[in-house]
Structure 1
Amino acid sequence: MQPAKDAPAPECAEVSVRLPETVAGLGTRHTNAQATGAWGNPSAVLLRCGVPSPPPTTDRCISINDVDWIEDPSEAPRYRYTTYGRTPAVEVVIDAESGVSGMTALTDLGEAVNYLPKTGACVGADDLLELEGATPAPTDSAAPTASGSAN
C-alpha cells in the first residue's frame, strides 16, 4: 500500500491508533505504509487516511453512525468509499467478491474515523429546499425513491 499525501497529519495518527483488530469479521494485516490498515487474507478491506477531501458531488452518499461516505462503484466489485465532510479524508476499498458487506465494514471503521474533524455533511434534495426556505413538493407515493442523497 502507498500512504496518502496527508498521511502524516496528526488526525490520521488518531485514526490509526484506533483501528479495530477485526473488520467485517476479518483479522487485521500488517501494513508498512503510514496511516493505512488492511483486513482479511487476502486483503478484502483496505484503508488509507490522508486522502484529499472530496468536493460536493451528486454521487451516492451513505451516512453510517454519524460518518458520511461517498460511494464509488466504478471498479465494481471493488467499491471505494471516501469520507465526506472530514478533513483529512479516509478512503476505504472493499472487495465485494470476498463476501464482505460494505455496510458492516464501514460500521466497524466508524468509531476510528469519527476522530477526524467534521467539516461538513451530506445533504439531499429536501435539505437543499429547507436551506433555500422552500417547502418540498408533495410526492406521488407510487414514485420511486432515491437510495442515496446528493451533496
Structure 2
Amino acid sequence: MPTHSRHFVRASSAGALLVVSLSACSPIVDVDAAPDAANPACAEVMIALPDQVAGNELRETNSQGTAAWGDPSQVVLRCGIEVPGPTTDACASVNDVDWIIQESTETDIWTARTYGRNPAVEVLFDPNQVASSTVLVDLGGAASRVEQTEQCLSLNDTVELPEEG
C-alpha cells in the first residue's frame, strides 16, 4: 500500500483554503474555485497559462479556473474572483497588466489580483520562495486575455499635489 502524505498551505485571501495533497499516484492540488470560475473569459486565461512559472512545473488541480505550479505548490492561480474596486493597496503594472499586491500579516503568502479586468485573476505565492516579479511576468500573458477596462492609479496620479516653492 503506497504511503500518502498531506501538506496544508493556508492563505488568508478571500477565505481561500488551499490544500495540497501529495501521493505516489496522483499529485492533485485541491483549490477552491472562485465564484465566477465558469466565466468564459476564464477559459481563455486557462488555455494561455504557461507550463512553468518561476521555474516551477504546472500541476493538476481539482477545480475549474484554477492552476498550481511546483511540488509542493509555490504558485496558485484562481480565475473568476470578485472584481476588486478602488483601493489604497499597492498596485504594480507589469507588462501592461495591473496587479493589486497584498502582503498577509499572518503568513508569508502574498496575493496579487488583476485590476480593471472582469473576471479578475488571483495569484497566491510566497515571495521568499519565488520572485514576485517573475511570477507576475510569467502569468501576465494569460491574465491579459481578459480585456482591461480600468487602470490602477497611484495616489500621485489622482491627487494634485501643491507645488514646492
Per the shorter chain, which TM-score range?
0.7 to 0.9
Q: In the aligned structure 1, how far is the partner of 2:120 from the partner of 2:147?
A: 9
**Which of 62, 75, 85 in structure 1 is aligned with 2:116?**
85
Residue 137 of structure 1 aligns with which residue? 162
Tell me whether 1:94 sits opposite 2:119 in the alignment: no
Query: Scaled by the length of structure 2, what TM-score is found?
Result: 0.76
Q: Deviations over 1:15-68 (max 9, x none)?
A: 000100000011011112101110000001000000011110001001100111
In the alignment, which of 86, 91, 107 is matched to residue 61 of structure 1? 91
What is aligned with 1:3?
33
Could you tell me which runs of 5 or more consecutive residues in structure 1 were left unpaired when the two chains were aligned: 141-151
Cα-Cα RMSD = 1.6
Q: Which contiguous aligned blocks of 4+ residues in structure 1 show a shift greater than 3 angstroms?
A: 136-140
Which SS does the other structure have where 1:137 is aligned?
A: coil
Correspondence for 2:54 among 24, 28, 40 = 24
SS at structure 2 position matched to 1:42: coil
In structure 2, the partner of 1:73 is 103
Residue 122 of structure 1 pairs with residue 135 of structure 2: no
Distance in 2, Cα, partners of 1:81 & 1:42: 19
Deviation at 1:126, TM superposition (A): 3.0
- Alpha-carbon distance in 1 for matches of 2:156, 2:112: 23
Mapped to 2, the partners of 1:71 and 1:128 lie a distance apart of: 19
Normalised by the size of structure 1, how large is the TM-score? 0.83
More strand by share: 2
The unaligned stretches of length 5 or more in structure 2 are 1-30
2:138 to 99, 108, 123: 108
More contact order relative to length (CA 8 Å, sep ≥ 6): 1
Looking at structure 2, the residues matched to 112 and 119 of structure 1 have their Cα atoms a distance apart, in angstroms, of 16
CA 1:27–1:58: 2 relative to 1, 3 Å = same
